[in-house]
Amino acid sequence: MALLKQIIERYSVRSYQQRAIEKEKLLAVLEAARLAPSANNVQEWRFVVVQDAETRKKLCVAANNQRFVGEAPVVIVCCSNLSDHVMRCGQMAYPIDVAIAMEHMALQAVAEGLGTCWVGSFYEDQVKAILGIPEKARVVELLTLGYPADTARAKSRLPLDQIVAYERWQF
């Protein structure tokens, strides 16, 4: 299947070409997020697309000076405007729902010839201040987006028999 190929090809890009992303490719990536499922179909995710170079530099500082955050032509700040919905299983819905939408974006990016990197090392209060995000909203992750300037490294993944059990916990 084509999707498994994209999953295999996807990696965390930490070096980007200084090349603008075509509008139709950016919209396809964002549409993939819009189509993602969410608990109770709440669709609490909100995305701030940052293309301005000066704003990206500020986000770089807020993300522990990770250079690639400022170099990526687009940074998508992935947020939730609802942070109190708890699913019946006891898990908060918003981080899971936003993560699903983010991975939809990451896989669509591969299909568009683009790369991404999830960024969880940032100061939420600084990101909120830079982008005018209200206090009640949560910034879940940043997602850098652009044409890769690096190449994928070999992935180290555990074999299925170490991560999958059938019928009962057997680890």
In this structure, what CATH number is given to the domain that contains residue 29?
Answer: 3.40.109.10
**Using 50, 70 and 90 to split pLDDT, how confident is the model at 1?**
low
**Under 8 Å between Cβ of 114 and 10:** no
Instruction: Please tell me the predicted confidence (pLDDT) of residue 154.
Output: 87
Instruction: Please tell me the predicted confidence (pLDDT) of residue 60.
Output: 98
In a domain, 53, yes or no: yes
Task: Please list, in sequence order, all residues whose beta carbon lies within 8 angstroms of the beta carbon of residue 112, skipping any fewer than 6 positions away.
Answer: 25, 28, 29
Instruction: Please tell me the predicted confidence (pLDDT) of residue 83.
Output: 75
**Using 50, 70 and 90 to split pLDDT, how confident is the model at 62?**
very high
Instruction: Give the pair of three-digit tokens for residue 158.
Output: 């555990």
Task: Please list, in sequence order, all residues whose beta carbon lies within 8 angstroms of the beta carbon of residue 148, skipping any fewer than 6 positions away.
Answer: 13, 15, 16, 17, 114, 115
In a domain, 170, yes or no: no
Helix H or strand E segment including 36: none
CA distance 40 to 95: 14
In a domain, 133, yes or no: yes
In a domain, 99, yes or no: yes
Range of the domain at 144: 2-163
Please give the mean pLDDT across all residues of the chain: 96
Nearest to 15 by CA among 165, 153, 147: 147
**Using 50, 70 and 90 to split pLDDT, how confident is the model at 82?**
confident
In a domain, 115, yes or no: yes
The pLDDT tens digits of the residues spanning 109-139 come to 999 999 999 999 999 999 999 999 999 999 9
pTM exceeds 0.85: yes
**Domain count for the chain:** 1
Query: What are the C-alpha distances in Å from 119 to residues 29, 71, 73, 166?
Result: 17, 14, 15, 33
CA distance 75 to 59: 9
In a domain, 169, yes or no: no
In a domain, 108, yes or no: yes
pLDDT at 59 over 90: yes
**Under 8 Å between Cβ of 108 and 32:** yes
Q: In what order do the strands lie in the sheet with 45-50?
A: 45-50, 74-80, 138-146, 115-119
The pLDDT tens digits of the residues spanning 129-168 come to 999 999 999 999 999 999 999 999 888 999 999 999 999 9
pLDDT at 47 over 90: yes
Mean pLDDT value across residues 60-81: 97
Mean pLDDT value across residues 12-29: 97
Burial of 29-42, coded b for 16+ CB within 10 Å and e otherwise, reads bbebbeebebbeee
